[in-house]
Chains A and B, each alone.
Chain A
């Protein structure tokens, strides 16, 4: 069974800081790993999808890395802004169909 863990569960930083969110998974035989953002009471917005053959993906101020062998992924957010405040979720496919989600990291960026 695939288990996904995210650390830290919550994070509060001042505006402008660079920060790293961590995601670990127990079964390294994955096709890809996806990072999502969820605002309170809203659905999920896909941020980045890293294929198993890739080491990292970048989108604007976001950079996600993947190390399959160690079962880890990190999401790096550069120059954080108050608008980045949200819950960040990582997820990996498991069992061919379903996505297994981590518990999320609740990020608060203070002005």
Chain B
């Protein structure tokens, strides 16, 4: 149980285009999903917290108009990188927190999406 999937696993796009990444909790409901970014040989940095049915909360320094987050259901959150530029190239990882596990904050992570912007 507690499986989180991401799609696509890898995407290459041209500068200026928009890319959508999906994060799904496959066998549980998640009121909260988190989006992280990881640069090579660095740890994960939280970008935003996505709550089902409400606006996402962005961390300082993360542009909300560039990284659009939609948490439309208890099993799906999407991250859209708008007008992508080469500096947006990174590994994007989502995680989901079970409704039942909210008190303990255990998060389950997706396999990540490698974005390369040419």
Contacts and interface: CB of A to CB of B under 8 A. Distances in A.
B67 interface: no
Interface residues of B, number: 23
B91 interface: yes
Nearest to B4: A43
Contacts of A89: 43-44
Contacts, number: 55
Contacts of A34: 106-107
Interface stretch (B13-21, B75-83, B108-116): B108-116
Interface residues of A, number: 22
Where chain A touches its partner, the secondary structure class is strand
Given A31-B104, A31-B105, A43-B112, A98 B46 contact: yes
A45 B111 CA distance: 9
Contacts of B111: 42-43
Contacts of B91: 41
A32 interface: yes
Contacts of A51: 104
Contact of B109 (A44, A96, A103): A44
Interface string A32-49: 101010000111111001
17 contacts: A43-B6, A43-B93, A43-B112, A44-B109, A45-B109, A46-B109, A93-B105, A96-B105, A97-B34, A97-B49, A98-B34, A99-B34, A99-B44, A99-B95, A101-B43, A101-B44, A103-B43
Given A49-B106, A98-B34, 7 more contacts: A31-B103, A36-B109, A43-B6, A43-B109, A43-B110, A51-B104, A99-B34
